[in-house]
């Protein structure tokens, strides 16, 4: 039997687009002799549809689209993901379903049993969990059909309790009682550079545990802050990867199931450096954010520092240099090198730029406020005025020319509040808001891997906001190598202060960093959407009370 994995990039709520994408894949694979084509979780509406699922008309459109695709399935079987109504008067009104379509009919339906309610996921808000399990057959092959988390049941609850499992039921253990020949897993699993190998292990261990091949179909592309890596897999019954599709690539791939059954020698796996995956993820995130919102052009402030340089390079790669414009906005505190280095970068990229000195508006603000601030020493107030002037100029260009302002703040700055609300925190999309400063430097070297695009002087200069004389980031913060390690342990690993201190960090530094993280929650609450590349980004995946005292 020939099976096709359709690793595609869907657009939430764009039913005609998604239907055409699915039908084109069906037509292609049917002409190539495929018997079964597998799409990803909730491919009909696009993932994640969030509160659109509360709209009856939205669900009705899902059902209509499923019927139209079923009618297109002549001489071939397709598995699609869509919300369906729960007809039982008890429980949530919807299921997250996998539907087997052929010859104009729904031949089989199964519903997701394990509904994640952690990090970015809140599926129990919308869906009723399945409690009954069954399999279906095609061409004599018995198939256990699962949806994403249904194969993730053995993950630990957290890092502190390795023996504690998040779920009390294993859908695959239930399905194994029917002795299936093949496990299919449809997923919409977002990318995290820390989870790449763990994700592989989940699927390979399931195949090895049950002695059954596993085929996964994951979506790719990005929807708002979530970036999906694809990387769909075919795993033989020994738990070895027979084939893995590319990261962040749309692919329609057909294979012979008999070859997988017979295989004892897996093909070479994709092994990418995490930084190269982060690079590709961010380019994908930018490209799809613009394409799916209908915007084409972006603007950014280019300061002469590493963060804005990396963002400008990523935007140029994602959108094309002709769609990127940057403003150089020097102040009385800017070094000459900041301007010259920025000009060298934009010439290397071929992007358009304008230079606007902010001295006049800054002086005007100081003169306006002088009667009220008389005899008071200059402090962060005057620094923030400069950042906000730059934001006003950037937003003026964005409004006038129909662009989106890209935010250039990194995760280290966002964590400790080293940014100005309505100033350098402004923007429609935070490109590197989930990238620690030390990883920003690694990204810069990845960008320069084949030739020097970012001037080396930008990479090697000490980081500075240049908002007061001789200012350096280290005046206010620990060295980034130390800071980022503390941040990672506290945010991603959720370690308490005492545990971090036991790893050799100074108590006063750890306590200060954690105090800054907690104090600045109000700033992050007002930040733009952040492209997510880690297991714990700021935004929907991290919900903290602003007024807490802990």
Cβ partners under 8 Å of residue 424, min gap 6: 301, 387, 390, 391, 407, 408, 409
Q: How confident is the model at residue 161 (pLDDT cuts 50, 70, 90)?
A: very low
43 in catalytic set: no
Q: Helical H runs in 237-358?
A: 257-262, 274-293, 306-319, 336-349
Q: Which residue in 43, 148, 298, 313 is the catalytic one?
A: 148
Measured in residues, the chain has a length of: 550
**180 or 470: which carries more pLDDT confidence?**
180
Mean pLDDT, residues 341-361? 97
Q: Which residue in 41, 130, 344, 383 is the catalytic one?
A: 41
How many angstroms separate the CA atoms of 323 and 350, rounded? 10
For tokens 């070479």, what's the residue?
268
How many angstroms separate the CA atoms of 269 and 242, rounded? 8
Q: How confident is the model at residue 265 (pLDDT cuts 50, 70, 90)?
A: low
393-416: pLDDT as tens digits:
999 999 999 999 999 999 999 999
Q: Give residue 477's pLDDT.
A: 85
49-75: pLDDT as tens digits:
999 999 999 999 999 999 999 999 999
Q: Which residue in 19, 62, 112, 536 is the catalytic one?
A: 112
For tokens 């997923």, what's the residue?
187
Does an H or E element contain 23, and which? helix 15-31
Q: Give residue 392's pLDDT.
A: 98
Q: Give residue 66's pLDDT.
A: 98
The token duo for 145 is 């059909």
Q: Give residue 513's pLDDT.
A: 96
How many angstroms separate the CA atoms of 283 and 171, rounded? 36
How many angstroms separate the CA atoms of 504 and 19, rounded? 55
Cis bond leading into 427, ω under 30°? no
437-453: pLDDT as tens digits:
999 999 999 999 999 99
Provide the CA 472 distance to its chain's centre, in angstroms. Answer: 31
Mean pLDDT, residues 486-502? 95
How many angstroms separate the CA atoms of 75 and 63, rounded? 22
Burial 16-32 (b: 16+ CB within 10 A, else e): eebbebbbebbeebbee
452 in catalytic set: no
297 in catalytic set: no
Mean pLDDT, residues 114-137? 94
Q: Give residue 469's pLDDT.
A: 81
How many angstroms separate the CA atoms of 191 and 230, rounded? 8
Q: Under a CB-based contact definition with an 8 Å cutoff, are residues 323 and 298 in contact?
A: yes
- DSSP characters over 365-411: HHHHHHHHHTTPPP-HHHHHHHHHHHHHHHHHHHHHHTEEEEE---H
Mean of pLDDT over the chain: 93
Q: Give residue 156's pLDDT.
A: 57
Q: How confident is the model at residue 464 (pLDDT cuts 50, 70, 90)?
A: confident
In whole angstroms, how far apart are CA 167 and each of 41, 120, 183? 20, 18, 20
The token duo for 270 is 């994709």
Percent of the chain past pLDDT 90, that is, above it, reads 86
Q: Give residue 157's pLDDT.
A: 52
Mean pLDDT, residues 246-257? 96
């Amino acid at each position: 039997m020939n099976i096709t994995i359709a690793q595609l990039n869907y657009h939430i709520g764009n039913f005609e687009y998604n239907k055409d994408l699915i039908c084109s894949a069906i037509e292609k694979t049917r002409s190539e002799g495929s018997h079964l084509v597998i799409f990803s979780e909730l491919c009909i509406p696009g993932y994640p549809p969030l509160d659109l699922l509360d709209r009856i008309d939205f669900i009705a459109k899902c059902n209509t689209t499923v019927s139209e695709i079923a009618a297109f399935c002549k001489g071939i079987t397709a598995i699609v993901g869509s919300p369906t109504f729960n007809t039982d008067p008890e429980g949530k009104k919807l299921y997250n379903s996998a539907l087997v379509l052929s010859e104009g009919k729904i031949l089989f339906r199964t519903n997701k049993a394990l509904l994640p309610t952690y990090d970015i996921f809140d599926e129990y808000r919308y869906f009723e969990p399945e409690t009954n399990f069954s399999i279906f057959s095609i061409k004599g092959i018995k198939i256990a059909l699962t949806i994403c988390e249904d194969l993730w049941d053995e993950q630990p609850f957290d890092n502190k309790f390795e023996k504690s499992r998040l779920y009390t039921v294993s859908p695959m253990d239930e399905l194994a009682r029917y002795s299936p020949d093949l496990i299919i897993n449809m997923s919409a699993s977002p990318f995290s550079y820390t989870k790449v190998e763990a994700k592989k292990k989940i699927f390979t261990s399931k195949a090895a545990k049950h002695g059954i091949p596993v085929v996964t179909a994951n979506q790719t592309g990005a929807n708002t802050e979530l970036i999906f890596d694809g990387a769909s897999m075919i795993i033989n019954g020994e738990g070895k990867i027979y084939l893995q599709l590319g990261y962040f690539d749309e692919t329609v791939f057909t294979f012979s199931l008999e070859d997988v059954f017979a295989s004892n020698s897996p093909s070479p796996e994709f092994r990418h450096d995490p930084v190269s995956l982060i690079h590709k993820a961010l380019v994908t995130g930018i490209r799809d954010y613009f394409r799916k919102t209908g915007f084409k052009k972006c603007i950014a402030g280019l300061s002469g520092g590493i963060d804005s340089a990396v963002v400008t390079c990523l935007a140029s790669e994602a959108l094309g240099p002709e769609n990127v414009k940057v403003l150089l906005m020097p102040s009385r505190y800017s070094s000459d090198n900041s301007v010259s280095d920025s000009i060298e970068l934009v010439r290397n990229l071929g992007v358009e730029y304008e230079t606007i000195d902010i001295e006049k508006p800054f002086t005007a603000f100081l003169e306006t406020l002088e009667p009220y601030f008389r005899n008071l020493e200059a402090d962060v107030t005057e620094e923030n005025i400069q950042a906000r002037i730059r934001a006003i100029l950037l937003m003026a260009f964005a409004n006038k020319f129909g662009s989106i302002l890209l935010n250039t703040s990194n995760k280290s700055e966002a964590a400790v509040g080293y940014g100005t609300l309505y100033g350098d925190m402004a923007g429609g999309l935070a490109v590197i808001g989930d990238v620690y400063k030390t990883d920003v430097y690694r990204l810069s070297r990845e960008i320069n891997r084949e030739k020097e695009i970012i001037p080396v002087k930008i990479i090697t200069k000490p980081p500075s906001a240049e908002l007061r004389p001789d200012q350096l980031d280290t005046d206010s913060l620990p060295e980034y190598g130390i800071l980022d390690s503390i941040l990672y342990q506290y945010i991603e690993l959720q370690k308490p202060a005492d545990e971090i201190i036991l790893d050799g960090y100074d108590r006063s530094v750890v306590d200060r960093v954690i105090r800054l993280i907690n104090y600045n929650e109000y700033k992050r609450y007002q930040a733009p959407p952040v492209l997510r590349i880690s297991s714990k980004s700021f935004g929907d995946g991290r919900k903290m009370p602003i007024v807490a005292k802990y």
